Amino acid sequence: MEGLQAFETAARNGGFIEMNESTNRGVLWLKRVALGTTTQAHQLMCIDSLQNNATIFWINVLGVVDSKTFRGVPALQEWFDSTPQTILQR
């Protein structure tokens, strides 16, 4: 459980907020909306307690759903640092 809390803390520090649709106790869904025309402007994150990982989903410039899965919090934080954006909290 500690690892999942670390994923959630990193996600919130990265600008993600919890979605109202998060009803499953084993999965937490978060969202992030960025201002501007970045290819990753609207993102969803799924933190999975069974797999102990986090996956981020977004629409790429071709209009196709893309994703990246993180099995460790340091990798997630590094990805946040490498993809700076202005975040719009909704």
pLDDT tens readout for residues 23-75: 667 888 999 876 555 555 689 999 998 899 999 998 887 888 999 999 999 99
φ/ψ region of 33 (left if φ > 0, alpha if ψ in -120 to 50, else beta) reads beta
pLDDT score recorded for residue 26: 81
3 — pLDDT class (breaks 50, 70, 90): low
Q: Global pTM?
A: 0.79
Classified as helix, coil or strand, 68 is: strand
Look-up of token digits 């071709």: 62
